[in-house]
Structure 1
Amino acid sequence: MPELEGTKTQTNLMKAFAGESMARNRYTYYSKIAKDEGYEQIAAIFLETAENEKMHAKRFFQFLGKDNIPIELSDVIYPIGMSDTITNLEYSIEGEHDENSHLYPMFANIAREEGFDSVAACFEAIVEAEKGHEKRYRILKENLENGKVFKRDAQILWKCRKCGYISYGSDAPYACPACLHPRAYFEICNQNY
């Protein structure tokens, strides 16, 4: 691999590291808001995504090396916003979309042009993860807007996230009959095993 210091790729890795680190923190904050609003599953998805972003940040950090070289950043804009869960999902969709459709593909192209094929491959792989994040945030936002977090048109299985109780119906129970936790803890039972 060529020398990284002083390249556009080094700067882009630092921008990506900073962006992923901030996204991790934002998603952690958004998780608390979702939990406070009664959306345990959405809170858990924000936390899971925060852990994904932590891993992305770690990959970018690993490319930057071990030499403790200061990297100055300019012309960088990072989103700051915190509101209710629907708005936080919108902020998250915007950030994930920008990363997977513009920013990281551009960073991958620059890395490849500068001879950093492994960095380019990393950006391209992370694009796929960010597409998945955007997709599920869009679905969660639509479910909230359409009143489908705890209610569906058809009869389905609902699972209590606390004790595992399974209920069948178009609506999640208002409280779990097994452990008495509120409706906030119910999600659609996903049998992906």
Structure 2
Amino acid sequence: MLFLNRNKFTQKYLKTISRIGGEIVNLKGTKTLENLMKAFAGESQARNRYTFYASVAKKEGFEQISALFRETADNEKEHAEVFFKHIIEGMTGELPVMVHVDADYPVDLRGTRENLKAAAAGENEEWTELYPTFADVAEKEGFRTVAESFRQIAKVEKRHETRYLKLLENVETEKVFKREEKVLWKCGNCGYILEAKEAPEQCPACKHSKAYFELFVENY
């Protein structure tokens, strides 16, 4: 009889336990649950927006910017997973569950210049306002681990904003493929490297267009 009732007992036990190691783990009915869901939705949407922006950049001849949009999209997927896992762990015994949130999300898709501006603005809001606020709320409600996730991911978003702003500056000042001094340019398709003030119209080795060239920097 004890064995037969084991699953029922376990579920009841998990529902009633509210603290483990001094930290609250049950998210039900908390503001932090709502904030985690907002963050999960926001990161998920950012991932898709950046994927769309990558396609636009590629069409406009900015292969490196396209690749960086895709890389950032992958980062946002990982952020979304962190927040989603917190929800799953905090709602053990309650699943499946519907989480209602009242939030606004950006809708924008234009040229690469405008897309970089929009992306930078979104990252800025996350690291300067949203995630610090969410972290403070989580801390007050007893979710120290969740608070730490918000704070650490905010650091990544700050770096994302910095990169987007630098790429935007290069686009606006027409420095994506041209510099005042000679620099090393690398073909992203075949790896060909040459020294010049400006990337060539066509790669001498693989014949791919200028779009595939980027500054060559050894960072290892």
Name the residue aligned to 2:58.
Answer: 35
Q: Read off the aligned partner of 1:34 and give its amino acid letter.
A: A
5+ long unaligned stretches in structure 2: 1-22
Which residue, out of 60, 64, 74, partners 1:51? 74
Inter-partner Cα distance in structure 1 for 2:210 and 2:156: 30
Q: Read off the aligned partner of 1:8 and give its amino acid letter.
A: K
Inter-partner Cα distance in structure 2 for 1:15 and 1:160: 40
1:71 equivalent in alignment to 2:106? no
Inter-partner Cα distance in structure 2 for 1:115 and 1:187: 47
Inter-partner Cα distance in structure 2 for 1:115 and 1:125: 17
1:130-145 pair list within 5 angstroms: 130-145=157-172
The normalised TM-score by structure 1 is 0.98
The normalised TM-score by structure 2 is 0.86
Inter-partner Cα distance in structure 2 for 1:68 and 1:9: 18
Which residue, out of 30, 35, 48, partners 1:7? 30
Identity of aligned residues (%): 51
Name the residue aligned to 1:146.
Answer: 173
Name the residue aligned to 2:39.
Answer: 16
- Give the number of the structure whose alpha-carbon radius of gyration is greater: 2
Q: Secondary structure at the match of 2:101?
A: coil
Q: Read off the aligned partner of 2:157 and give its amino acid letter.
A: E
Q: Is the 8 A contact 1:152 1:170 kept in 2?
A: yes
Which residue, out of 55, 74, 89, partners 2:116? 89
1:117 equivalent in alignment to 2:144? yes
Which residue, out of 146, 150, 164, partners 2:191? 164
Inter-partner Cα distance in structure 1 for 2:120 and 2:159: 10
Q: Secondary structure at the match of 1:190?
A: coil
1:127 equivalent in alignment to 2:150? no
Deviation of 1:68 (Å): 2.1
Q: Secondary structure at the match of 1:174?
A: coil
5+ long unaligned stretches in structure 1: none
154-163 vs 61-70, which moves further: 61-70
Q: Is the 8 A contact 1:167 1:173 kept in 2?
A: no
| CA deviation map 1:55-105 (0-9, x unaligned) | 00000000001622110111x110001000000001001100000000000
Name the residue aligned to 1:181.
Answer: 208
Q: Is the 8 A contact 1:160 1:186 kept in 2?
A: yes
Inter-partner Cα distance in structure 2 for 1:118 and 1:183: 46
Inter-partner Cα distance in structure 1 for 2:82 and 2:27: 15
Over 4 Å off, 4+ runs: none
Name the residue aligned to 1:190.
Answer: 217
